[in-house]
Chain A
């Protein structure tokens, strides 16, 4: 019964991807880029971000893009090119993308829904769930759920965290103010997370990263 269910889901997913592709060709935003160019660029992104954009352990942990909020994805690509977010590789990647290509890529990644990569220590999940849902009031850490949503799916500029790669989330929270909001003349939404990342200790970061990494 379970197998039949899984097959059905898979077939539906394949159909969904096939149909969404067909619709997107007529989408107004993406119309400025040829579909074959978008497909080639997607394949290029997926070399590092995983074949279904589920994230990948390269030399660095490379984040999941699948199911990500389009607004967040677009913001981040701009952040790389404007040196608000430091990452030399992603600066070069983002630098050559037209606005229409950025929109088309973000829409495509948003629609993908592969299983999480997994691999985080299971023992940390329970603590992580509590931090995610309740925060750490004594440490002035608000519940993550209040902005990222109870399912960690994110919303607009707030990123989806569900299924995000464990060591990617850990490394972002640990290095927040060294990587984000790096252009004082051009402050951005990353400032919201700064005191929160600062308020979490290493064990709490790992716990919350483990919890969200398993969410589908």
Chain B
């Protein structure tokens, strides 16, 4: 209960309490995890080390412009040329226009195994704090059109759920936290223009992907009951609605 209190005080307190809990054993565990998946991780790790080398050469908190541009190009290989998201083997989320605090939180969540995603663990692991901030700032400034593709017949129902929630089923209105135009706020992500299949995958698997480190509870706990209360057709509807928002 007390842990959650800290979470609910918003991103700043969350970030500082996370820093406070940071400890060596966790770092050790991360290393073991890498060696376990070394075959898969190696090419990415080489790339990451190569890029990281460029920025580490100067200072941990300031990053060379060339280093940032190279890293952005690397992110866009998967997240789309304007970071509008990409329907790869997995649906790969839109980063464009995302809240900087949310992006930074998620990159830390991958590293700390709070959010499970092996590819993003390896990506994030090589980023200096200065690089993380620079990337988040850069993605926030992008504003490409949504990639679209969601079934348009779900949009009207999705709009209703987003704006009003489903009070009878104890589903809170998405708009209360994500904003009436789904732009997000601080630690709360922008959903406008997010990929339809990505949103479905996240909402369906929330409890299996987020908040996975019991020693480090995080803001993902807020969404847990909401994701759980939505049924499949409601998830599809709300995902379709926000995927078209600009």
Residues in chain A within 8 A of chain B (CB atoms): 10, 14, 40-41, 43-44, 47-48, 50-52, 54, 56-60, 62, 88-89, 92-93, 95-96, 114-115, 117-119
Contact = CB atoms under 8 A, between A and B. Distances in A.
Interface stretch (B30-38, B45-53, B116-124, B170-178): B170-178
B82 interface: no
For chain B, the bracket of interface size reads 20 to 34
Given A57-B10, A58-B176, A59-B178, A89 B185 contact: no
Given A43-B170, A50-B5, A58-B176, 11 more contacts: A14-B1, A44-B225, A48-B172, A57-B10, A58-B178, A58-B185, A59-B180, A89-B163, A89-B165, A114-B5, A115-B5
A167 to B, nearest CB: 11
B26 interface: no
Contacts of A96: 167-168
- The DSSP consensus for interface residues of chain A is mixed
Contacts of B221: 51
B63 to A, nearest CB: 29
Contact of A57 (B168, B175, B186, B226): B186
Contact of B8 (A51, A92, A93): A51
Nearest to B12: A119
B238 interface: no
Contacts of A89: 163-165, 173, 175-176
A119 B9 contact: yes
A59 B8 contact: no
A92 B165 contact: yes
B4 A51 contact: yes
8 contacts: A43-B225, A51-B8, A56-B8, A58-B177, A59-B185, A59-B188, A93-B165, A96-B168
Contacts of B178: 58-59
B7 interface: yes
A189 B144 CA distance: 48
B167 A118 contact: no
Interface string B212-245: 0000000001100110010000000000000000
Contacts of B167: 92-93, 95-96
Contacts of B222: 47, 51
Contacts of B225: 43-44, 47
B4 A59 contact: no
Nearest to A62: B176
A51 B7 contact: yes
B85 interface: no
Closest 3 CB pairs of A and B: A44-B170, A59-B179, A58-B177
Contacts of A56: 8, 10, 177
A44 B173 CA distance: 10
Nearest to A94: B167
B2 interface: yes
A52 B6 CA distance: 10
Contacts of A10: 2
